[in-house]
Amino acid sequence: MTKILIVDDHPMFREALRSAVKFSRKDAEILEAGSIEAAHEIIRDEPGIEIVLLDLSLPGTRGFDGLILLRSAFPRTPIMIVSGLDDPKIVSEAIRLGAAGFVSKSVDKETLAEGLSVVLSGSVFVPPELTQSAQGQRAESRSSDIADLVANLTPAQMRVLQLIRNGQLNKQIAYELGVSETTIKAHVSEILRKLNVVSRTQAVIKTSQLDFEAITGDEKPAGS
């Protein structure tokens, strides 16, 4: 039996994806989460989850934050992105950040079944129509190592970085996370060291390229 976690904030799409998964894996045990926080709790508390099907556009996340948070916390659990945001640049960046696969929300059941099999076998899956473009974009992105640097942050440091990017000060971050300001200062120091920057402003600027706006060159996509 394959244990699969679907992470999407739209109940109707979760149901549709559940049906598509059952098409090829009738005995699969399927769990669902509507947010990154809920997904984190399920993966932590439910042993044996073999693959996560993750939407990129979730409440409380920007760009690839959700993917990075789950990858940092559970590096051995493969994550396949299932998203309506299937621009080749986004596909390429998701794979570079550690996603084990990427399919569009409009994918047919046969392709999803193939993707599940490939990822569960330990390989990376991208549908043929996206592979060539994604490979080209991946080559362009190699000049920047920011994604690799961000991947080295701990889950706690990633959360602090998110709040810094939202413009919050150390005191505000400490209050929101329920820890001391001294703890937040220590996290900030480590974040700056790992990102090879000397200020919070530089950290925000350097990681801004992880947002969809910077990747696509357009306005932030709306919806899923």
Which pTM value belongs to this model? 0.68
Q: Is the pLDDT of residue 148 over 80?
A: no
Residue type, 138: R
pLDDT tens, residue by residue, 60-94: 888 888 998 898 889 899 999 999 887 888 888 88
Q: How confident is the model at residue 209 (pLDDT cuts 50, 70, 90)?
A: low
d(CA 153, CA 168): 19
Average pLDDT over residues 30-39: 96
Nearest to 137 by CA among 95, 84, 81, 78: 95
Question: pLDDT > 90: what percent of the chain?
Answer: 49
pLDDT of residue 133: 52
Q: Based on the domain organization, do 87 and 7 belong to the same domain? A: yes
Last residue of a domain, one of 141, 161, 186: 141
Q: How confident is the model at residue 189 (pLDDT cuts 50, 70, 90)?
A: very high
Last residue of a domain, one of 141, 156, 172: 141
Q: Is the pLDDT of residue 219 over 70?
A: no
- Report how many domains make up the chain: 2
Q: CA angle, corner 196, sides to 194 and 200, nearest 5?
A: 90
Read off the DSSP letter of residue 106.
Answer: T
- Asked whether residue 97 is assigned to any structural domain, the reply reads yes
